[in-house]
Amino acid sequence: MSLLDVQNLVVEFPTRHGTLRALDQVSFDIAPGEILGVVGESGAGKSLTGAAIIGLLEPPGRVAGGRILLEGRRIDDLPHEQMRRIRGRQIGAIFQDPLTSLNPLYSVGRQLVETIQTHLPVNAAEARRRAIELLRDTGIPAPEQRIDHYPHQFSGGMRQRVVIALALAAEPRLIVADEPTTALDVSIQAQIIALLKKVCSERGAAVMLITHDMGVIAETCDRVAVMYAGRVAEIGPVHEVIHRPAHPYTAGLMACIPDMEGEREQLNQIDGAMPRLDAIPPGCAYHPRCPQSHARCLQARPELLHAGATRAACWLHATDSKEPA
C-alpha cells in the first residue's frame, strides 16, 4: 500500500484577471521506504506540490480539486489545527534555506525538545536525550555540547543537519525535502544525500525529494517524476527515466547534463521557455518547444500513457493513431 497517494491534484490561484491553474491533475504515489524525486525547471510546480501536501500553500492558493491521502487517510481537506498536528508528527519538512526553518533566538536543543514534546508523550529529560541522539544520528559532532548552541554558531551544512534532525524529531512517516542540498557545497551535498537514504532504509519513511539537480536525483532516488507547466510529464524508475527517457521534454533535460565520458562534445539546450500560467497553450503544454510535435499535440492534452518501464504524457506513446475530432 502507498504511504502517500496524490490523486488528480489541482491547485489554483484566484486573481483579479481570472483563476490561474498552477497544478493540473497531478498524480503520483510513494511507498514506505521509497525516495521519489520530483524534478523540472523553475515554475514547473515542484515546490507547489510539496507545499500542498504539507498544507502550507501561500494564500490565495488553494487545493481546488483532487485528493491527497496519507496512509489511506485524506488530509487535503482537514481544518488548519488538525493539519498542524499532522505536520511534524506524520509529515516532516526540510526546506532549502535552514535559516528560515530555525529560530535564531533559541538554541537548537530548545527547538528540538519543543518539537519532540509537542508531538510525543515524553518529559523534558527524555526529550533532551532524544534530541542529542538525533543530532548524533544526523552527523553533528559532540552533540552533548552542540545541543545548547544557537543556529548562527553552526555552518550551513551543519544547520541543514539540524533541520533534518528537526524534521525527524517526531518520527514522521513522510518527509518532504524541498531543494535540501542546493545551498551546500558538493562534499556536504553527498553527506546530506547519504543521510536521507539512511533515514529511508532504517525508519521505513517515504521521502519526496524536490530538486532541479539530476545528479542528486540519480544518486538518491528510486523513482522520479518529471514536471512541466504544472503537470507530470513522465514518471518511472530513475534509471529508466535518465537512460531511456520516453517524453521529449525529459530527453531534452537529460541531454542538458554534461557527459563525463566525453562522448558528447556539445551540451544540448531546450529552445524557448516554460509558458506562464496565464498563457499555457492548448493541447500538450510542451508542443511549442517540442521537436517531435504533430497535429494531435496542438489539439488534445495527453494523459500519462504507458511507455515501456515508465509512463509519459506524450502522444508518441498512444496505442491508437486517430486524430482528435
Residue 60 pLDDT: 92
Rounded to two decimals, the pTM is 0.90
CB atoms within 10 A of CB 137: 17
Residue 261 pLDDT: 65
Whether residue 321 is predicted with pLDDT greater than 60 in this model: the reply is no
Whether residue 262 is predicted with pLDDT greater than 90 in this model: the reply is no
Q: What's the pLDDT band for 325 if we cut at 50, 70, 90?
A: very low
Q: Cell numbers at residue 269, please?
A: 539546450
Please state, in angstroms and rounded to a whole number, the distance separating the CA atoms of residues 200 and 209: 12
Specify whether the CB–CB gap between 303 and 250 falls below 8 A. no
What radius of gyration do the chain's Cα atoms show? 21
Q: Number of structural domains, the chain?
A: 1
Instruction: Give the pLDDT mean for 283-291.
Output: 93
Instruction: Give the pLDDT mean for 19-45.
Output: 94
What is the CATH classification number for the domain harbouring 71?
3.40.50.300
Instruction: Give the pLDDT mean for 304-316.
Output: 94
Q: Let me know if residue 117 belongs to a domain.
A: no
Instruction: Give the pLDDT mean for 313-321.
Output: 84
Instruction: Give the pLDDT mean for 275-289.
Output: 92
Q: What is the maximum span of the chain, computed from C-alpha positions, in angstroms?
A: 70
Please name every residue paired with 92 in a beta bridge, in sequence order, or none if there are none: 175
Whether residue 265 is predicted with pLDDT greater than 70 in this model: the reply is no
Please state, in angstroms and rounded to a whole number, the distance separating the CA atoms of residues 4 and 252: 29
Treating both helix axes as pointing N-terminal to C-terminal, what angle do 124-137 and 156-168 enclose, rounded to 10 degrees?
130
Instruction: Give the pLDDT mean for 157-185.
Output: 88
Q: Let me know if residue 16 belongs to a domain.
A: yes
Q: Let me know if residue 116 belongs to a domain.
A: no
Q: Let me know if residue 115 belongs to a domain.
A: no
Q: What's the pLDDT band for 189 if we cut at 50, 70, 90?
A: confident
* Range of the structural domain that residue 248 is part of: 4-90+172-317
Integer CA distances (angstroms), 179 to 228, 231, 253, in order: 17, 19, 18
In this predicted model, what pLDDT tens digit does every residue of 111-170 receive, in sequence order? 999 999 999 999 999 999 999 999 998 889 999 999 999 999 999 889 988 998 999 888
Angle (CA) 178 181 185, round 5°: 160
Q: Let me know if residue 164 belongs to a domain.
A: no
Whether residue 298 is predicted with pLDDT greater than 90 in this model: the reply is yes
Give me the count of residues in the chain: 325
Q: What's the pLDDT band for 264 if we cut at 50, 70, 90?
A: low
Please state, in angstroms and rounded to a whole number, the distance separating the CA atoms of residues 195 and 192: 5
Q: 145 phi and psi, to 5 degrees?
A: -90, -40
CB atoms within 10 A of CB 272: 10
Mean pLDDT, the chain, integer? 90
Q: Let me know if residue 180 belongs to a domain.
A: yes
Q: Let me know if residue 56 belongs to a domain.
A: yes
Please state, in angstroms and rounded to a whole number, the distance separating the CA atoms of residues 61 and 11: 7
Q: Let me know if residue 208 belongs to a domain.
A: yes
Q: What percentage of residues in the chain have a pLDDT greater than 70?
A: 95
Residue 260 pLDDT: 62
Whether residue 324 is predicted with pLDDT greater than 50 in this model: the reply is no
